[in-house]
């Protein structure tokens, strides 16, 4: 009898050594590694979902001993209490939604506190600061002045490494020829690679089969990929 899969998401590794450096992300990676030698009080890293912004953010958080806050917590945060003795702050989901006036005021306060401490702020988002819906003029001007670096969509080399890592994170042993088969058929995006890994994991567990070429073909067909 096929086993019913539980919809548990694999826990990704955000270790420094697990970040896959390629042409599409090497500039952003270099900026993170360059800290604290930044020209301004912060940095914005932007790119499509799943491109590695969170991974870069976690690498920087450990290096800078930064505290982390979410957009949801920002509106009710007490800026001095958030930072406590820290001089670095990570906001990983910036511009995921329009900030309330209170959240904008608190982010401005956090920015100013960090500047007073010669600290730094790392903001991760889908778009550059110029496209963020910031209404508070003082905050908007400060964020727009930050260096902004893009993480581009992956080339074939990075996508190949990414698929291998995603499969490994899910403890799936996938032959190189199966990865190459998938690589020629999926959309060139981080999100497509993540969805494929999740779908293959579920299919292998349901059918109690190893991820063979035949199973990969079935999964790709269900995802609407060309044969």
Domain 25-151: CATH superfamily is P-loop containing nucleotide triphosphate hydrolases (3.40.50.300)
Q: Are 19 and 55 in contact (CB under 8 A)?
A: yes
d(CA 115, CA 111): 6
- Domain ranges, ordered by start, for the chain: 25-151, 156-222
Of the candidates 179, 175, 212, the one whose C-alpha atom is nearest the C-alpha of residue 196 is 179
Which whole number is the average pLDDT over 70-84? 92
Q: Confirm whether pTM is higher than 0.85.
A: no
Q: Are 131 and 109 in contact (CB under 8 A)?
A: no
Extract the tokens encoding 61.
């958080």
Q: Does domain 156-222 have CATH number 1.10.287?
A: no
Neighbours of 138 (CB within 10 A): 13
What is the model's pLDDT at position 10?
A: 54
d(CA 105, CA 112): 11
Which whole number is the average pLDDT over 156-172? 91
Residue 47: pLDDT over 70: yes
Cα pseudo-dihedral 58, 61, 67, 69, rounded to 10: -40
Which whole number is the average pLDDT over 16-41? 93
Q: Using 50, 70 and 90 to split pLDDT, how confident is the model at 7?
A: very low
Say if 25-151 and 156-222 have the same CATH topology.
no
């Amino acid at each position: 009898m096929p086993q019913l899969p539980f919809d548990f998401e694999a826990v990704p590794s955000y270790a420094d050594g697990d970040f896959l450096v390629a042409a599409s992300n090497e500039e952003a990676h270099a900026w993170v590694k360059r800290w604290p030698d930044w020209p301004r009080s912060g940095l914005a890293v932007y790119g499509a979902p799943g491109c590695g912004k969170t991974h870069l953010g976690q690498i920087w958080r450990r290096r800078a001993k930064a505290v982390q806050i979410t957009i949801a917590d920002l509106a009710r945060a007490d800026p001095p209490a958030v930072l406590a003795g820290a001089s670095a702050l990570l906001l990983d989901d910036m511009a995921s939604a329009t900030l309330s006036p209170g959240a904008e005021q608190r982010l401005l306060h956090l920015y100013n506190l960090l500047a007073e401490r010669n600290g730094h702020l790392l903001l991760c988002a889908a778009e550059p600061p110029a496209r963020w819906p910031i209404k508070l003029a003082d905050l908007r001007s400060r964020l727009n002045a930050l260096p902004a670096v893009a993480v581009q969509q992956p080339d074939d080399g990075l996508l190949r490494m990414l698929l291998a890592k995603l499969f490994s994170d899910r403890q799936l042993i996938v032959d190189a020829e199966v990865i190459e088969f998938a690589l020629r058929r999926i959309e060139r995006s981080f999100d497509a690679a993540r969805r494929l890994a999740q779908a293959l994991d579920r299919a292998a567990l349901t059918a109690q089969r190893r991820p063979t070429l035949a199973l990969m073909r079935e999964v790709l067909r269900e995802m609407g990929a060309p044969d």
